[in-house]
Amino acid sequence: MPAEALVTAEDTEIRFEEGIIGVPRARRFELLERQDSPIRVLRCLDIEGFALPVIDPRLADTTYQPVLGPHVQEALLLEAGEPVLLLAVTTLEPTGPVANLRAPLVINVRRRIAKQVILDDRAYPLRAPVAAR
């Protein structure tokens, strides 16, 4: 992915207080997007070269609406009506991208704090094909 194809979506960092699952020291990120693709890049500011391709999970499941428990709302300091951005970590495969819908990234847009959540709902797959756009 050429660097010039990426643009910063926001000038402020997104902070995962607990890190990303499996990479606890990856706490500060910036969200980058490609102008020609629905796949964004969540680039780590703490670990050079570490980045995650992410998408809007509704590209894999148009009805995606996971239930976020009170512990998630508390951890993200969410107040009623505050906007939340959901992202799904994506794997780029030869047959097309697949998204992990069972462990979404939940971002409090206003406060720029985030958490990766493991959902109990097994109806959401670990490898959901992403619809072409």
The domains found in the chain, sorted by start residue, are 3-129 (2.30.290.10)
**In 11-127, which ranges are E strands?**
14-16, 28-34, 40-44, 51-55, 84-93, 96-99, 105-108, 113-116
**The pLDDT value given to residue 10:** 45
Rounded Cα distance between 6 and 8, Å, is 7
What angle (nearest 5°) sits at the alpha carbon of residue 21, between those of residues 18 and 24? 45
**The pLDDT value given to residue 44:** 96
**The pLDDT value given to residue 97:** 92
The model carries a pTM of 0.86
Rounded Cα distance between 43 and 30, Å, is 5
What are the per-10-residue average pLDDT scores of the chain (133 residues)?
41 88 94 88 95 95 90 87 92 91 94 93 88 66
**The pLDDT value given to residue 59:** 94
DSSP classification of residue 48: T
Rounded Cα distance between 48 and 25, Å, is 12
**The pLDDT value given to residue 132:** 63
**The pLDDT value given to residue 45:** 95
